[in-house]
Amino acid sequence: KPPILELRNVGKTYQVKQGLFGKARPLTAVNDVSLSLSRGEVLGLVGESGCGKSTLAKILLGLEAPTTGQVLVDGQEIGDQDRLSLARRIQPIFQDPYSSLNPRKSIFDIVSLPLRVHGIGDRTQWEKQVREILDIVGLPARVMNTYPSQMSGGQRQRVAIARALIMKPEIVICDEPTSALDVSVQSQILNLLGELRREFGLTYLFISHDLAVVEHLASRVAVMYLGRIVEEADVAGLFDHARHPYTQALLQSVLTPEPGLGVPDTQLGMAYPNPIDPPSGCRFHPRCPLATDHCKSHAPRPIRTEQGLVECHLYDPESQMYKNEAA
Ligand code: SF4
Ligand code: MG
């Protein structure tokens, strides 16, 4: 059986102007990424702000076309003309329900919008379906006639989940779905997402800067750094024995810095590099405590193992150890 969702060597390069009179320069947000998800699985995608994880989400949602590579759903390559039908099978839940819900629309209008856009059913059916889906996400039917401003952050995120699920998608791309919420509300929403996955057999790509949040839901984790997947492993393996120095640093700091959150970056010493000027060689070398001269000039290639993937010169696939580790 082919994976339900697969990325093959996907890349995305933007032309970015720096300053008013600056020349356009290429910014590679996603650099040769290959990932696959099997049906019913939760793959966590972790990285700091600017690593390309949201660009990857947009490509999967058909909001951006990849510059290189292929996106396959059930083994079928998705072309530009397929993106609308794809939208019925892949739905997003975004980070900030404050900004992703139109404040001038009622909850009924917001949740029924995907049905109306795709011309599915009539007003009576929309009302019935909105009522059902609100119940499923734990909201009373009476909220239909209210507006986002009348709801709490957690309720708004439930509305965003209802809007995503009303299309009965198979795959849900969750991009930081709990980052804007209080910790206590976060766990309620994570639990809800877990229940919905089991009940409806959903497949999630769960994007977050926070490994602790990903651990809660994901069975496998891919770690992204400056556009590349630097490590991929099942969740237990990653938390027990992270192999890539970047993953190890993320685990030590657990909360990684995200602009606006004000969390100091204590482990990695310096700020996240500007993706328009990525470091030479291994892109992690300026922040890597294990970097050698070789790392500065030579980019490591991804090594696939039974455990997943790791992209680092020091990793020896034979012994499954770091070359500097005592045997
Ligand atoms: Fe660090 Fe070198 Fe490995 Fe890059 S290749 S993560 S710089 S040790
Ligand atoms: Mg983002």
Task: Output the DSSP codes for 182-207.
Answer: -HHHHHHHHHHHHHHHHHHT-EEEEE
The stretches of 201-307 forming alpha helices (DSSP H) are 211-217, 235-240, 245-253, 293-297
Three-class DSSP category at 285: helix
Span from the CA of 148 to the centroid of ligand 2 (angstroms): 22
For residue 175, give the DSSP letter. Answer: E
Residues with CB under 5 A from ligand 2 (ion): 54
Quote the ligand 1 centre to 284 CA distance (angstroms).
Answer: 6
- pLDDT of amino acid 259: 47
Element (H, E) at 60: helix 53-60
Residue 286, CB-side half-sphere exposure with 13 Å CA sphere: 13
Does residue 314 line the site of ligand 1, with CB under 6 A? yes
CA of 166 to the centre of ligand 2 (A): 24
Of the bound ligands, which one is closest to the alpha carbon of residue 56? 2
Task: Quickly state the pLDDT bin for 254 (edges 50, 70, 90).
Answer: low
pLDDT(191) > 90: yes
pLDDT category at 56 given cuts 50, 70, 90 is very high
Is 288 close to ligand 1, i.e. is its CB under 6 Å away? Answer: yes
**Do 154 and 190 form a contact (C-beta atoms < 8 A)?**
no
Residues in the chain: 327
State how far the alpha carbon of 2 is from the alpha carbons of 72, 74, 110, 168, 171, in Å: 9, 6, 34, 21, 15
227 conformational bin, left if phi > 0, alpha if psi -120 to 50, beta if neither: left
* Closest ligand to Cα 207: 2
From the CA of 260, the nearest ligand is 2
Overall average pLDDT of the 9-22 stretch: 89
For residue 257, the model assigns a pLDDT of 47
Residue 282 Cα: closest atom of ligand 1: 4
pLDDT at 300 over 70: yes
Which residue, 52, 43, 76, 81, is CA-closest to 173? Answer: 43
Residue 237 has phi, psi (to 5 degrees) of: -60, -40
- Band (267; pLDDT cuts 50, 70, 90): low
Residue 158, judged by CB atoms within 10 A of its CB (0-12, 13-18, 19+), counts as buried
CA of residue 80 to ligand 2 center, whole Å: 24
Q: What confidence category does residue 269 fall into, taking pLDDT thresholds of 50, 70 and 90?
A: low
Higher-scoring residue by pLDDT: 272, 7: 7
Residue 282: pLDDT above 90?
A: yes
Per-residue pLDDT at 61 exceeds 60? yes
Residue-range domains of the chain with CATH: 5-322 (3.40.50.300)
Residue 261 CA to ligand 2 center (angstroms) comes to 13
The structure's pTM equals 0.90
Backbone angles phi, psi at 50, to 5 degrees: 95, 0
Residue indicated by tokens 């490509």: 59
Q: Is the pLDDT of residue 304 over 50?
A: yes
Secondary structure letter of residue 263 according to DSSP: -
- Kindly state if the Cβ of 285 falls inside 6 Å of ligand 1: yes
What does the pLDDT average to over 53-59?
A: 92
Name the residue among 130, 315, 112, 133 with its Cα closest to residue 231: 315
Q: Confirm if 53 and 47 have CB atoms less than 8 A apart.
A: yes
**Closest ligand, as measured to the CA of 47:** 2
Nearest partner of 245 among 319, 308, 324, judged by Cα: 324
Kindly state if the Cβ of 225 falls inside 6 Å of ligand 1.
no
Structure confidence at residue 216 (pLDDT): 87
123 C-alpha to ligand 2 centroid (Å):
35
Tens-digit pLDDT profile for residues 88-111? 789 999 876 667 788 999 999 999
Please work out whether the CB of residue 159 comes within 6 Å of at least one atom of ligand 1.
Answer: no
